[in-house]
Amino acid sequence: MQSIYKPDRIFILIHSLIILVSGMAVALFSGHPALLILAGAVLALYLGLALRRPLRRRRALRRPFPEGWREFLKRHSPFYSAFDKPGRDSFERDIRFCLADLRIEGIRNSPVKPELRLLIAMGMATMLHGRPEWEPPVSTVLVYPGERFDGDYRIGRGNFVGQAPRRGPLIVTEESLERSFSDPIDGFNVLYHELAHCFDWEDGFADGIPAARMMSIGIAEWKAILSREWQRVRNGQSILPDYAGTNEAEFLAVACEYFFEAPGKLEGDMPEFYSAMKEFFHLDPVRIIPTAAG
């Protein structure tokens, strides 16, 4: 993640020039210099909207990163613990940006505990670490109390611990989120699972195949590997749990959990798909996390 991306800078500059030049031209040919004031107001309004996120992120960077957060990250993120100084600085920057940009809220506007907010930002920073040109795939995270909810969103019923509807928001329950990071190498993480669904939705389809613009390998190659490994789950020949065999979208989500939490097992069982995931995220967790090889 970046404060402002180069294409955005160019886009904003071009549109600012268009507004300014158009205003000057209209004022000149109409003979009403006062129109320059109107053009200036339009330009100011445009820049206020266009630069809102970059300015918010710059303000977040000016605030010192709390030392307590660093200790929290060391306890809950094997990635952060394993990164070198530049890697940690980048990770901390992404966490600041996530906390500055994301709407993280409880149901009925109930407050969300600070440690849960930090876990959500930490999980997103982990998935985006190798792709600094990407942004979080959601703008709102809704945290449900307790452990589960049902299809009618009734708390304490059913068996849902998270959900990622196409048009958002991303939903997770408090207890499942805490459990996800209490053991960061057990292969279970509701946030990674639901974020994987969000990446899957980028092309408008939940089919286990992300948008072509996000891929480092061909769509056909990704689809062939995914289909082959999904069938292995269906046949009981994979290390992934049976739920990954529900469909290709759930296979991708569960595989993402293993990629970030049990990468050694994933690489050992399905090296081709691990390699495809490594190219997708531009990360190699087995080589980053000292305990991942097992």
On whether both 80 and 196 belong to a single domain, the answer is: yes
| Residue 158 lies inside a defined structural domain of this protein | yes
Per-residue pLDDT reduced to its tens digit, 156-198: 888 899 999 888 799 999 999 999 998 878 889 999 999 999 9
Output the pLDDT for position 24.
84
| Residue 124 lies inside a defined structural domain of this protein | yes
| Residue 275 lies inside a defined structural domain of this protein | yes
On whether both 81 and 30 belong to a single domain, the answer is: no
pLDDT beyond 90 at 34: no
On whether both 204 and 110 belong to a single domain, the answer is: yes
| Residue 293 lies inside a defined structural domain of this protein | no
On whether both 115 and 211 belong to a single domain, the answer is: yes
Per-residue pLDDT reduced to its tens digit, 237-282: 999 999 999 999 999 999 999 999 999 999 999 999 999 999 999 9
Which of 46, 61, 76 finishes a domain? 61
* pTM for the predicted model, two decimal places: 0.88
On whether both 138 and 198 belong to a single domain, the answer is: yes
**Per-position DSSP letters for 115-167, written without gaps between them:** HHHHHHHHHHHHHHTT-TT---S-SEEEEESSS-B-TT--BT-SSBSEE--TT
Per-residue pLDDT reduced to its tens digit, 204-229: 888 898 887 888 888 899 999 999 99
Q: Are 208 and 252 in contact (CB under 8 A)?
A: yes
Count of domains for the chain: 2
pLDDT beyond 70 at 110: yes
Least confident of 64-78, 86-100, 174-188: 174-188
pLDDT > 70: what percent of the chain? 99
On whether both 121 and 226 belong to a single domain, the answer is: yes
Closest-CA residue to 238 (of 225, 227, 229): 229
On whether both 140 and 201 belong to a single domain, the answer is: yes
What residue numbers bound the domain in which 245 lies?
A: 64-288
Output the pLDDT for position 12.
85
Q: Predicted confidence band at 203 (pLDDT cuts at 50, 70, 90)?
A: confident
Which of 14, 33, 61 finishes a domain? 61
On whether both 39 and 103 belong to a single domain, the answer is: no
pLDDT beyond 70 at 23: yes
The enclosing H or E element of 104 equals strand 103-106
On whether both 203 and 118 belong to a single domain, the answer is: yes
On whether both 198 and 269 belong to a single domain, the answer is: yes
On whether both 85 and 191 belong to a single domain, the answer is: yes
Per-residue three-class SS string for 216-233: CCCHHHHHHHHHHHHHHH
